[in-house]
Amino acid sequence: MTLNLNDYLQGLQSTADQGLFNSIRRGIEKETLRTTPQGEISQGDHPKALGSTLTHPHITTDYSEALVEFITPVSTSRETTLEFLLDLHRFSLSNLDNQELLWPASMPCKLDGNDSVRIGEYGSSNVGFMKHVYRRGLDARYGRIMQSIAGIHYNVSFPDELWPLLAKLEGLPEEAADKDWRSTRYFDLIRNFRRYSWLLMYLFGASPVLDESFLSGHDQHPLKKLAAGTWGEPTATSLRMSDLGYQNQVQGSLKICFNSLENYINTLELAISQPYPDYAKIGTKVDGEYRQLNTGILQIENEYYSDIRPKRVMHSGEKPNEALQTKGVEYIEVRCLDINPFLPGGIDVAQMYFLDAFLLFCLLEPSPKLNDEACQNIDINLKKTVNAARDPETLINGKPLRQEAAALLKRLRPVCQLLDGGTPDLTPFCDALNQQQAKVDDVNLTPSAQMLKLAQERNGFVPAVLELARAQREQLLASPINQARETLFTQLSSHSIKQQQEIEAADKIDFDTYLQQYFAN
Give the model confidence (pLDDT) of 220-252 as tens digits. Answer: 889 999 999 999 999 999 999 998 876 666 666
Residue 422 has a pLDDT of 63
Q: Can you tell me the distance from the alpha carbon of 120 to that of 159, in angstroms, rounded to the nearest whole number?
A: 36
Residue 196 has a pLDDT of 98
Per the CB < 8 A criterion, the answer to whether 125 and 500 are in contact is yes
Residue 383 has a pLDDT of 95
Domains, the chain, in order of start with CATH, read: 5-520 (3.30.590.20)
Banded model confidence at residue 95, pLDDT cuts 50, 70, 90: very high
Measured torsion, CA atoms of residues 308, 311, 317, 322, in degrees rounded to the nearest 10: -100
pLDDT at 516 over 80: yes
pLDDT at 465 over 90: yes
Percent of the chain residues past pLDDT 70, beyond the cut: 98
Residue 13 has a pLDDT of 92
Banded model confidence at residue 16, pLDDT cuts 50, 70, 90: confident
Closest Cα to residue 243, out of 269, 218, 280? 218
Residue 254 has a pLDDT of 72
Residue 249 has a pLDDT of 65
Residue 252 has a pLDDT of 65
* Residue of higher predicted confidence among 304 and 231: 231
Helix, strand and coil in the chain, % to nearest 5? 55, 15, 35
Residue 247 has a pLDDT of 60
Rounded average pLDDT over 318-347: 96
Closest Cα to residue 166, out of 182, 190, 147, 149? 182
Closest Cα to residue 330, out of 27, 17, 18, 22? 27
Dump pLDDT digits (tens) for 31-54.
Answer: 999 999 999 999 999 999 999 999
Residue 455 has a pLDDT of 98
Dump pLDDT digits (tens) for 142-162.
Answer: 999 999 999 999 999 999 999
Residue 248 has a pLDDT of 61
Percent of the chain residues past pLDDT 90, beyond the cut: 88
Q: Can you tell me the distance from the alpha carbon of 80 to that of 82, in angstroms, rounded to the nearest whole number?
A: 5
pLDDT at 369 over 90: yes
Averaged confidence pLDDT in the chain: 95
Per the CB < 8 A criterion, the answer to whether 141 and 292 are in contact is yes
Dump pLDDT digits (tens) for 245-258.
Answer: 766 666 666 777 69
Residue 165 has a pLDDT of 95
Per the CB < 8 A criterion, the answer to whether 117 and 111 are in contact is yes
pLDDT at 17 over 90: no
Rounded average pLDDT over 171-196: 96
Banded model confidence at residue 354, pLDDT cuts 50, 70, 90: very high
